[in-house]
Every structure is written in C-alpha cells, then in structure tokens.
Structure 1
Amino acid sequence: MHRVVLLSLLLLMAWLAPPRQADAQVRHCQTADGTRLYTDRQCADLGAREARDPPTGQATGNRLQACARSVPDLAYALDDAIRSGDANRIAGLYDWAGMGSSNANRVLDQLQRIAERPLVDVREARAGDEGGGSGAGPIFGLRVEQVLGDGYTPSRTVFGLRRRLGCWWVHL
C-alpha cells in the first residue's frame, strides 16, 4: 500500500514540475596559439582551455552584444568574421539548431573555405537583385562576394536568414 501511495505521489510531482530543457552547452575554447573555438565538446579534448575573456565582438556600452538584433548588425558581424579568416567566428553567427553531426561537419567545411577566400563585400540579398543590382524586394539573405585564390575569379555565397529568440542568424 505504501508503495502505491509513494508511486502516486512521485507521478503527481513529475506531472506538476515545470518542463526542463536539455543542457546543450556551447563551449568557448582557446588553443595555445590563441585560436578561438566554439564546440559542444570539452576544451581539453581539443587540446585547448576554456576561454575566460570575452571574444572580440560588437560592444554596446560596457557589455558584449550576444547576438545580431538586426540584419545590418548581422551583415557587419559576418563581414568582420570573414575578414578575420576565422571559420569559428563565422560559425558563431550560424544557426545550428536541429543540425546533425554529419551536416554540421559539411557546413563547417564550407565555412572554412569561405574564411580562406579574400572578401570583396557583404550586402543584403533582396528579391530581384540576382544580377548584382539593388533589388526592391524583401531581404531574403546576405550575399558574400569574394575572389578565389587566384585573386580575380569571383565567388559568391548567399546565406539565408533566420530569426530565432530575438536574434538574426545565417544559414546555407
């Protein structure tokens, strides 16, 4: 009888308890040579240590802005991240929600290639501006104009936009 009462009490408590979110944590690590990494693994597993100081970013007052609150802010941050040549900084602007490991590795490879190419321009991509003009339609993404390693062959990547939790993110 006591077991039934105890079990009923536990079930009632579980039903009344607020739902909890899964603890998915992105760690900010720094290697011995100063390279910053964002990962879900332990920093020590990558031969790095937990980064204690905040990364370079957009400061508002005396605090670091955690995410892009507007498309122009996102475009500026993407421009800055690509110019740094650091794929991890670009990855910090990417919407990884719901992505599996194999897709994430594919995207990281693409971001690395983007980070390695010289940047010409980052601008808003609007409906009707496929030819490089300034379309009058709504903004649907960010167009990244670069050149390949030979210094003159053009390369274009168009990132899509997602708004989640009050922030703007890019995706491929």
Structure 2
Amino acid sequence: MSLKMSSVALLAYFTLNLIYCNAEFSTEDCASLGFIKANLLCSSCDPLKDFGLEQLVAHCKECCHQDDKTPHEKKYARAILEVCTCKFPAYPQIQAFVKSDRPAKFPNLQIKYVRGLDPIIKLLDKDGIVKDTVAIEKWNTDSVEEFLNTHLDKEEDDERDYLKTNQI
C-alpha cells in the first residue's frame, strides 16, 4: 500500500513540476525577481547580457511581453505632457524627466503645467487633434522616454527651414 502511495505522490510531484515549468510566471513571481511584468518588453531582456547578467535573461523572458514591431504601431505628430508642479513630490520620476535635458530630445513634445492634474501624455495628430491620452503617474523617466521614442514621429530636419536655421 505504501508503494502505491509513494508512486502516486511521485507522479503528482512530477506533474506539478511539469505544469510549473511550462507555466508563465505570475505578476507576483516577476515582482519577486525584480521585474514589472506589465511594463517589461522582451527587447529589454537581451541587453542584460551586456552587463554580465546572463542568469537573469531566462527569467526576464518569462516575464516580458513581445514587442510590437508591426507596421500598425501608432505614431503621433505631437505630444503634450501635462503635469501639476504642486504634485511633483508625489511623482518624483516625472519631475526628474521634466527638469532634465530629456524633453529637449523631442522637439514635438510640449510640457504644459495644469493645476491639480496628475501627469498624463496627450498624443496629437498632425492637425493638432488629441487622438490618445495616457496616464503616466506610475512611470519612471526611462519609461517616459521610451514611450515618446516609440510613439512620436521623428521631426525631419529640413535644411531649407530658414526660421530654424536663421539662414538667408
């Protein structure tokens, strides 16, 4: 009888291990490993090797979302980051982004101070019509920059634009 019992227990153990090995990590599992599953793109896992963190790559891949590199990815002509300076203490990462040199990298980004507003990014089309609004209160400076790099059209440097170059 005990041989049957131990065989059943062993079978249950191997079955649970097989299920666990094939299962995706939960949000809690990823958090305990130091990854935020909701924001982690798989393209962020490969650079870990550059820093000697090869052992984290497998776990990172279990927690990440596939990057959407398809042509249907939305690009916007302009963006407005709206924030209230009185709320900077509650959002130090957004304050760090706004006060850094990072916004200068995006000539089609406007920072607008709106009293009492939690930080958001409004995405506009070429006609200046708001097409999307994204809440960014839980983002860090790198996330904001990555988002803008992904979703903002790159402004073309037109050598013939005399107002920008001050040429005659």
TM-score (norm 2): 0.27
**Whose RCO is larger (CA < 8 A, sep 6+)?**
2
Is the radius of gyration larger for structure 1 or structure 2? 2
TM-score (norm 1): 0.27
Which protein has the bigger helix share? 2
More strand by share: 1
